[in-house]
Amino acid sequence: MTPDDYGHLYAEAHDEPAFSNSDEGYGWMDANCATCIHDKPARQGRDHEGCPLILITLMSKRPIQFLDGPRSPEGLYNIADQYRCIEYRHENDGPTDPQPIPDPPGQLTLLPREDYQGHRMLTQAPQETAVPR
């Protein structure tokens, strides 16, 4: 993900605000984006190279990369855990791009990898609901 991806990230984002107010937004960003490699350039003064997902939240949309964090049975959440950003990488974690294991030299490839590489989207298991009798 790079700042150049902003257009398609914006287009696929949910049409609803990610945060209900600025306290929630900046609280979550302090707990997550402040150590993320995708916003490191902005922290170094190069705002135009910052994380495009933050920009999308400032445009009142919710990136699809934000998955709900843990919720209490009443639906309450901690501001820092409101979302889990699937693009988060700690700035000390190494390269941001996936580093696939290379094909062994001299071996034939049965299937091309390209179609099977990408994001692994985790979703919550459906909640069991009581069936009325």
Contacting positions for ligand SF4 (CB under 6 A)? 32-33, 36, 38-39, 51, 53-54, 85, 87-88
The SS3 assignment for 4 reads helix
Nearer to ligand SF4, 73 or 83 (CB): 83
Question: How many whole angstroms from its chain centre is CA 35?
Answer: 14
Nearer to ligand SF4, 13 or 33 (CB): 33
Q: How buried is residue 96: exposed, middle or buried, by Cβ count under 10 Å (0-12/13-18/19+)?
A: middle
CB of 85 to ligand SF4, least distance (A): 3
CB of 93 to ligand SF4, least distance (A): 11
Q: Which of 30, 127, 12 is nearest to 82 (CA)?
A: 30
Nearer to ligand SF4, 30 or 103 (CB): 30
